[in-house]
Amino acid sequence: MKKKVVSVYRFEDDVLNRLEEEVDVTLFNKEDINENPEFTAALQEAHGIIGYGLEINDSLLDKAPNAEIFSNVSVGYNNLNIDALTKRNIMATNTPGVLDETVADTMFGLLIATARRMPELDHYVKSHQWTGDLTSDFYGTDVHHKTIGIIGLGRIGEAIANRAHHGFHMNVLYHNRSRNEEAEKKFNATYKELDDLLKESDFVVLMTPLTASTEGVLGAREFSLMKESAIFINGSRGKTIVEKDLIQALQQKEIKAAGLDVFEQEPVQKDNPLLDMPNVVTLPHIGSATYATEHAMSELACENLLAGLRGEKPSCLINEAVWKD
């Protein structure tokens, strides 16, 4: 008899067909699971759960007594209570690697769009305001040969450093939990303490995962250390910064501009002051959102799930403590 899987994710047909070859899949939309008796009933029988952005905590796991694995369709896993999963001997997996280059493309595109004020000027043209020569009021900021400070030099951070160094001849600074000597050689990167990176960078790019130690890592004090001409880019998670402090830093012109793919609350609230600032470029958390990358993430999440349900070690197991050879 096939094992039972609950999916809270939008699968392409070929990936769903691959899952259904080995397991019995029940599909739910994320919007339709709250207080849904059908979802609760499916969890009761589920051996595996797969999804994106699904909060996996004690409350949910209490409803899934037969669960063996949760497969997260994301590289970040701040939505998972790893301690709760490990306590129940449930495997947790994610999808690192497949989205690195795509997210780096998005972050660098966001950086350039913010520096050169592209969305603002696009609106200026399309609203028929362009009627003559432009004054310096419309000028943007150069990217090439400037200093970029990357906070969190993991795989995606390295891909951003590669673009900065080789493509735009930028001076690369980084702050990380530990030194990355290989990156220092490849990108002529310089390790800096956080305060020094903030003071020296023309562009500050935040790429840390959201953990207890990184939540609110940038607040009022940190923004005040940045140059008035500095541009801040956040591609990590909204809660890695104190959003109200970023808003205040922008309003008081402590920094020049910001490009954001993530927010404290998502979808972003309609009354968020960031939405009314022309010097802030906003994206709807689409760092990895290309068809090819989303498909590759789905395939990897599927393989992680199926491996775990076969009794094999998934290639992207997060909580190694549950695995016994």
Catalytic residues: 237, 266, 285
CA distance 234 to 193: 19
For 236, the 3-state DSSP assignment is coil
Angle between helices 100-115 and 155-162 (to 10 degrees): 50
- Peptide bond connecting 278 to the previous residue in cis, omega within 30 degrees of 0: no
For residue 140 the two structure tokens come to 């943007």
Distance, in Å, from the CA atom of 157 to the CA atom of 171, rounded to the nearest integer, reads 14
Residue 178's contacts (CB-CB under 8 Å, 6 or more residues apart) are none
Within 8 A by CB and 6+ apart from 169, the residues are 144, 145
β-sheet bridge partners, residue 8? 51
DSSP calls for 242-254: -HHHHHHHHHTTS
- The DSSP secondary-structure symbol of 150 reads E
3-state secondary structure at position 137: helix
Checking 192-199 for CB contacts under 8 A at 24+ apart, the result is 192/149, 194/151, 194/222, 195/222, 195/225, 197/149, 197/151, 197/173, 198/149, 198/222, 198/225, 198/226, 199/225, 199/226, 199/227
Cα separation, 310 vs 325, whole angstroms: 14
Q: Exposure string (b/e) for 22-31, b if CB count within 10 Å is 16 or more?
A: ebebbebeee
Edge-first strand order for the sheet with 147-151 is: 190-191, 171-175, 147-151, 203-206, 231-234, 257-260, 280-282
